[in-house]
Structure 1
Amino acid sequence: MMMMENLDMVNRDPNNINDHLKTAFDDVLAEVDGTHSIDCIWKASYACFHGCKSCFYNIFTFFCGIWMACFWGLDFAVISFAHVWCVTPTLRMCMIHCNLCQKTFGTWINCCCAPCCEVFSLIFSNIRVEKK
């Protein structure tokens, strides 16, 4: 379990889970050659993009971050509980029953069907088909 002392405050996505969200101004807005706005507008757009992105992200995380973390923590606790106490034992029980069925069916096939198939194969193996 991760402790607060081990919490990396610089690299907050060490497993690169959200690499698809890495967007810079150049990834969203771009002017092709021959179509350029006035330089001051382009610079102001750059500042506005970064300012709004940062400001609203901080506002959303301020009001919703703790509640969302609590929700996801609860959700993953329920999933972990369900798997440890319900899903895994149920799957193990099914595997045990299926193994028993497989052995029973295999024994039945080997005892009842295999001798009949062997007899018929011996009977039909002596048949020869010739062209005239």
Structure 2
Amino acid sequence: MNTMMKGEDSEEVEIDLEDSSDSDEFDNGEEPETLWRAHPSLEEKEDIHTSTMVEISDTKPLINVRDPRGINDCLKVTFEDVIAEPVSLRSGDRVWIWSHALFEVSRVWIYRVVTVLLAIPISIISGLLFAILSCLHIWIVGPCSHCVLIGAHWLQSLWSIVLGIVVRPFLTSAGRCCGGFSVHLARE
């Protein structure tokens, strides 16, 4: 049985509790390292599949880009979006720094716990639902709509003839009649 010792795969994460208003450290365009982002380990970097079949697969999870289409941009909530102190009232700097750190840590860990509890059942239910809908669309809706279109081809031809003989000349003549009118606006 494989047992894992505490010191084997542990990774150091540096937590910076300096005042968040010191923006001169990151003037070069780099974003500060946050509490929940850890650099991938050497094993994770080497475990990248290089098969061309895996690279073009739609089922391969996008580990680095989990929201490539920006569906959840509205959920990018930061501490400053929720809590802000006016200039006239200020708490101590350490209170503000620890509040910020606890907000970020609790937000991330509560999300992770809720995800562990709900993600797998919701994924199974969603997969089952989409599989049933795909099956119905492929084997029932698609063939039935093609049968209806094949059987109703004469109706489509009749409708295009009615539009070409009756409706199009009427609308064309009405457009030409109304096209002769002109409206001029003048100030009094």
TM-score by length of 1: 0.65
The equivalent residue for 2:137 is: 83
Count of residue pairs the alignment pairs up: 108
The equivalent residue for 1:62 is: 116
Equivalent of 1:47 in 86, 92, 101: 101
The equivalent residue for 1:16 is: 70
Identity of matched residues, %: 31
Deviation digits for residues 85-111 of structure 1 (CA, Å, limit 9, x no counterpart): 22222333333344322334666x6xx
Residues 97 and 52 from structure 1, CA distance in 2 versus in 1: closer, same or farther, beyond 3 angstroms?
same
**Residue type matched to 1:40 in 2?**
R
Query: Which structure has the highest helix share of the two?
Result: 1
Q: Which runs of 5+ in 1 are unaligned?
A: 115-132
Residues 36 and 88 from structure 1, CA distance in 2 versus in 1: closer, same or farther, beyond 3 angstroms?
farther
Q: Quick one: distance in 2 between partners of 1:96 and 1:61?
A: 48
TM-score by length of 2: 0.48
User: CA RMSD of the aligned region, Å?
Assistant: 2.6
Equivalent of 1:38 in 89, 92, 97: 92
Q: Quick one: distance in 2 between partners of 1:7 and 1:18?
A: 17
Please say which structure displays the higher CA radius of gyration.
Answer: 1
Q: Quick one: distance in 1 between partners of 2:159 and 2:79?
A: 65
Residues 106 and 13 from structure 1, CA distance in 2 versus in 1: closer, same or farther, beyond 3 angstroms?
closer
Deviation digits for residues 18-55 of structure 1 (CA, Å, limit 9, x no counterpart): 22211111222222332333322222221121111111
Q: Quick one: distance in 2 between partners of 1:96 and 1:37?
A: 74
Residues 55 and 97 from structure 1, CA distance in 2 versus in 1: closer, same or farther, beyond 3 angstroms?
same
Q: Note if 1:71 corresponds to 2:122.
A: no
Q: 2:113 aligns to what SS in structure 1?
A: helix
Q: Note if 1:2 corresponds to 2:34.
A: no
Q: Quick one: distance in 1 between partners of 2:101 and 2:140?
A: 52
The equivalent residue for 2:149 is: 95
